[in-house]
Structure 1
Amino acid sequence: MAGSEKKLERSKSGLRMIPVSDTDSSPFSLPEPPWVSDDECKQCQNCRAKFDFFKRRKHHCRRCGKCFCNDCCQEKVNLPRMLFLDPVRHCQVCTEISRKEEDFFEKHLKTLLNGGYFNVTESDMGPDEGSLFFLKLSANHRQLLFEGDNDKREPVQIEKIDTLQILPSGKDEEGNTLAGGIAIKYTDTTGGTNIIKMMVDSGGNKKPGQIWIAAMQKAFKMVYDARAK
């Protein structure tokens, strides 16, 4: 699937590369927050120091939109969820959040886009009744795509996934539970509810599939947390 068409946009917070069409927006992205107005912010919203024009000027965090003094909002951090091209100013709390998310965009998102082989079954089917699919995230991050040699499945919309459950497959030498697959409950294009199980292909190296599952779990949490706000 080809990537979505994008355009360069300059906002008061910085340069952003955004999709031309809203239908191509990533479910992992966030809109820019409105800035707290100058009239409502006479002091730093962290340390409570009063602003003045010369020594203690106000700055807005690009992630939360609140205003702070320079000491409380001096870090410039990458903010891929808002599609900024360069690092932008963050408050102390938002700095930690964005830095944790960087790992997802730099590593786990690439894993999901690269895909892996899984045995896919409906919830009421036995483990030997499924079909092998190459499962990957679409280029615009909106769908899980199922590529099979013989069978076909409609894509699953990421934003339509209601629950995700890790399915264990034994333990490693240190006693840690190994992920053998995932079960997802989602709403299809007709409005119906479906549950499918996607088990790591047992015919080859299981490690790539297990890494894909871990990345999918992080992706679902990111979408779920944004949905809950």
Structure 2
Amino acid sequence: LVLLPRVSELPGFHGAEAAAAARREELERYRCLEAFRMAPPHPLAQACTRLVCSVSALLHSGALPCQCDPQGSRSSECQAQGGQCECKPHVLGRRCDRCTPGSYGFGPLGCSPCACSPEGSVSQLCDAVSGQCRCQPGAVGRQCDQCQPGHWGFPACRPCQCNGHAEECDPRTGSCLRCRDHTAGRHCERCQDGYYGDPVLGSGQQCRPCPCPGYPGTRHYHGSACHADEETHHIVCLCAPGYAGE
């Protein structure tokens, strides 16, 4: 919104003096005020620039300081007409003193784009200081581009399937991380080497150390793996080189 004053009431244009009448005639001839009604504003003719700057100097008893923000502007100089400073990336304002909408972190390098995830965020705007985007339910992270802990596959986040032996999985592949209870596998669905059992959720079994004949980690353990025979349920050891027996 631009408020345009009555030309006849402006200093230097007021009254019946010949100089004031000449300024009014020049303002009309070059259609100076029309330029302010256009969107975006068109460059002013040189005569208009001279007249506008003269009015500004009369209104303010001289020229005004640029006051460019040292962090947001590229220099301390500004445009003679309007006083617009030259802003750094993603910075706006006449003095270059704030971030543009959709950016954050006003500082010596300008501002950074919010870059909110279109799938995980409510809008492309973020907190002006931290850059935190407003996330939709189920999304987390500064840019709302990640699944909540215990989920994977953004933006179609789904729970990790780890059979109760891990809380987190790889956010891209869904492979379980840090399987507990001597389990291993993508879903912690099998026992690690040196242990036997059925760790799948709902089986009611645990992974137990192979008795070959000692247990893993002891000097008397001479196997590499074992399993329970399906018929006899006896433990069958896979012996280390140089050893034999069940």
Q: TM-score range by the shorter chain?
A: under 0.3
Taking structure 1 as the reference length, what is the TM-score of the superposition?
A: 0.23
Based on CA coordinates, which of the two structures has the bigger radius of gyration? Answer: 2
Task: Name the one with the larger helix percent.
Answer: 1
Taking structure 2 as the reference length, what is the TM-score of the superposition?
A: 0.22
Point out which structure has higher relative CO (alpha carbons under 8 A, 6+ apart). 1
Task: Name the one with the larger strand percent.
Answer: 1
